[in-house]
Amino acid sequence: IFASLLYYLLANPVKNFFKDRSEGISVQLNEIEEKLQIAKDEKKDAQTRLDESIHKASQIIEDAKKEATILAQKIAAININDLSLMEKLLEEKMNLEERKSAKEAIDEILSDNITNDDIMLDGSKIVDIISRKVA
């Protein structure tokens, strides 16, 4: 009788205690599973963003390399043009200096060796020489 009375009095509170305890554990487990799922989703999103960032970074690097190559080619072309222009200017200057030195040498020789008294020119010869020189 004592055991049945004790069972009758304690059975419901013990059942309720274990039932509440198992429900509490179940609720905690569900919360943990939800948090785990949220963490997995966040990890997946972060991985996706990381992959996109890596792709963008590689694209930026590739574009920068292409741009650097194009700029190097443009600079090389400009330098080649500048060098050829400088070479032409040097040639022209050398030709001009050659002509100038030849003219100076001829003038010096003529002025030293020939005087006005040696050459008898009249007006028609001077006009003829000037017109040939101009033409």
Task: Enumerate residue ranges in the chain where pLDDT < 70.
Answer: 110-122, 126, 133, 135
Which helix (H) or strand (E) element contains residue 17?
A: helix 2-113
Hunting for tokens 């030195």 — which residue is that?
A: 101
State if pTM tops 0.85.
Answer: no
pLDDT in tens, 14-37: 888 889 999 999 999 999 999 999
Asked if residue 127 belongs to a domain, the reply is no
51 within some domain: yes
**Does the residue 99 lie in any domain?**
no
Could you tell me if residue 117 is inside a domain?
no
Q: Which amino acid is at 47?
A: Q
What pLDDT is attached to residue 112?
64
* Cα 54 to Cα 50: distance, rounded to the nearest angstrom: 6
Would you state the structure tokens that stand for residue 82, as one six-digit string?
């500048």
Q: Could you give the CA distance from residue 37 to residue 43 in angstroms, rounded to a whole number?
A: 10
| Domain membership flag for residue 32 | yes
- Write out the two tokens for 23: 């429900």
pLDDT computed for residue 48 by the predictor: 98
Please give the tally of structural domains in the chain: 1
pLDDT of residue 107: 78
Residue 132 confidence (pLDDT): 73
User: Rounded to whole angstroms, how far apart are CA atoms 75 and 86?
Assistant: 16
- Among all chains, which residue has been given the structure tokens 């487990």? 29
Range of the domain at 50: 10-81
- pLDDT for 62 equals 98
**DSSP codes of every residue in 49-111:** HHHHHHHHHHHHHHHHHHHHHHHHHHHHHHHHHHHHHHHHHHHHHHHHHHHHHHHHHHHHHHH
